[in-house]
Structure 1
């Protein structure tokens, strides 16, 4: 499609001019990462970063969210821009001078860069209010790493007609990636990221002495058989054109070498790119586990905890991201992703209600081959800070371009 008709001349240069602010906020957040839904320090840092802007700030009631609304100088659409704020429960081994000062907690998924880019985009847009039609909703969200933070914000009325800025007309988010070339934007229409559910199975047998398994009902062979049977179910019961990943990542049983335990536990993750495959796999997991247990004389208790839905980009919105990024950054720095990825994102909750798109921003360190760079969620992941200027420019450009 043709580039959007929007006043975005010099936008990347404008974003680079606020780079010191972007880097300072990013490093402050990186030093003091917080987990989950309660992020008081991060929330306060965001509020402070927006303090000198003409925005209306709304704080979450049940979670540490921040919603800021910037009104343009003429009527137009309402555009929502999201930046997630929470870190991961893991150590940091990057050796960076601004490494985490909180033991066992690290911004290993780049959410600190998302917050900093979104706050700086607010500064850029405030300086260009005369060019802005409609309004921008800046969504600073806690609890993306498995805590359903976006869902809490939606339940508090973020997307309602009588919400902080009325119902958004479009919603966009960027997610930095340490394994994409720095400053590039990658996007695709349709399913982008998977639904992610958690599987927990308890196999119930009858304990006994390890020397006399015939006098017991050993749950361990039943649990082991389930692992293989579940993989077979994926390849033999699901259409090969419906991508599914099922991984049993945690198996526990027993206490010592000469005791057959009474129970064995399996835990894993199920990733699907369609609700049809997701529903089919829920049924298959229950059927396979119950009948495999029965074949071994045991019983099985199966729990499937629903995680995030499939993240689906609206085709028109994805096309607008592509065109806007190409205009702001140059066509050579924009790419269409050939396939979805099987990670999950709770921006999916927003995209289920508002047409929009999530895109990936390359953040591989300069001089490092993206193929061998430490990836997101690694204790050694490092993001290129220069790439944040590209993210600021794209965020601001999407707001200025409107729908």
Structure 2
């Protein structure tokens, strides 16, 4: 089959119209009622077998090919973020305080366009394609809930694909990298309890701010002194709350933040050292401490064979695209829960255009992307699915 770029370009107005509509009407995780309604309607119009209400607002559609073959799952996320948009675009969010600041509006539109292309090529399709429109990717456990509700069964996928529009790279670039690609993510909450009192009489208090400050500083030693230099980890304290006024040492201080790792052994080391450091510094300062650690998602690991197939497809069918095959990001992705036991490839599609001012980072109030990336994403995902069914 020739490359599908021409078909994706012919459907661009459809993709763009959907993307801009979703952008105007962003919905948070597990609240994507309007979005999922449009998704289900569009998929049913193509004659696909559609199940709505999976994991609250998720949609699953199955397209069966004319020939026997594997089951390929392709996932597209739908949720927005609690951010006030500041792009000034004609299609700016109409929902105050909500914004598609990570490209999921584009992912959803691409998924529906991919469905159109696959339906057109149904006679060439071997096996089944399972299209997943996922709610609540942004830290709320949408993928985990979909798995719990049986999205990986009946039919069980043999291979998995997913993509992300990526403003870290210009439009026309593609990342398909083997192995650990996105990090495992933990959140932590630490409550340090001391003894409050007058700020002028610190000797009569047990200062939780002093203890907390030592903890923040000492935690940075985990990555610089405990993790092997050739490996990666992040320990970031992102909130520190204590006290209400200038002359009172408070009773408690609360810290929270995130831990990111790729390898399981590094993750175990970092978590153990985290607990040791926090507990021992609290004891050294005569404070009580409560530590809460929560796993948000696993590391996302791309299967070597499937990823090489996507890489070769880019080289052979889309030689004008710039391909990166060695890449990691400390960002996390709950798609890892679907790819835990099923081989897959999660690839990135460059989407920024600095010449047009479309280069704000993800989760920023000015985030927007070059919509030509929708064409690249549609063509590459459609072609990858068809290639994996051969």
Fold conserved between structures, TM > 0.5: yes
- Report the TM range for the smaller structure's normalisation: over 0.9
Cα distance between partner residues in 2 of 1:34 and 1:89: 9
| 2-structure distance, mates of 1:310, 1:111 | 20
Matching residue of 2:375: 389
Within 5 Å, which residues of 2 pair with 1:344-355?
A: 344-355=332-343
Moved more, 70-79 or 59-68: 59-68
2:178 is the counterpart of 1:189: yes
Alignment of structure 1 residues 35-74 onto 2, 5 Å: 35-74=28-67
State the Cα deviation string for residues 39-98 of structure 1 (Å, max 9, x = none).
Answer: 110100101222321210011344200000001111111111110000011011111000
- Whole-angstrom distance in 1 between the partners of 2:326 and 2:356: 23
Question: Given the superposition, is the C-alpha separation of residues 393 and 61 from structure 1 closer, same or farther in structure 2, using an over 3 Å criterion?
Answer: closer
Q: Is the 8 A contact 2:44 2:50 kept in 1?
A: no
1:276 to 265, 275, 285: 265
Q: Check conservation: 2:163, 2:346, Cα contact below 8 A.
A: yes
Tell me, in whole angstroms, the C-alpha distance in 1 between the residues paired with 2:357 and 2:27: 30
Query: Residue 77 of structure 1: which of 70, 95, 100 is its match?
Result: 70
Structure 1: distance between partners of 2:151 and 2:341: 11
What is the aligned partner in structure 2 of residue 96 from structure 1? 89
Kept after mapping to 2: 8 A contact 1:189/1:313: yes
In the aligned structure 2, how far is the partner of 1:295 from the partner of 1:400? 61
For residues 186-244 of structure 1, the C-alpha deviation after alignment (integer angstroms, 9 at most, x for no partner) is 11100001011111111110011111111111111100000111111222222222211
Runs of 4+ in structure 1 off by over 6 angstroms are: none
Contact kept, 8 Å, 2:361 with 2:367, in 1: the verdict is yes
Change beyond 3 A, Cα 1:353–1:334: farther
**What TM-score comes out, normalization by structure 1 length?**
0.94
Structure 1 residue aligned with 2:164, among 175, 181, 196? 175
Partner SS state of residue 131, structure 2: strand
The answer to whether the 8 Å contact 1:187/1:358 transfers is yes
| Structure 2 partner of 1:375 | 361
Task: Report SS of the residue matched to 1:402.
Answer: helix
Task: Return the alpha-carbon distance in structure 1 between the equivalents of residues 193 and 3 of structure 2.
Answer: 65
Determine the structure 1 residue equivalent to 2:384.
398
SS state of the match for residue 170, structure 2?
coil
Whether the 8 Å contact between 1:36 and 1:143 is mirrored in structure 2 is: yes
Cα displacement (A) at 1:120: 0.3
Q: Deviations over 1:299-349 (max 9, x none)?
A: 21111111110010001111111112233322x414224331100001111
Cα RMSD over matched residues? Answer: 1.4
Are 1:88 and 1:107, in contact at CA under 8 Å, matched by a contact in 2? yes
TM-score by length of 2: 0.97
Question: Could you list the runs of 5+ residues in structure 2 that have no partner in the other structure?
Answer: none
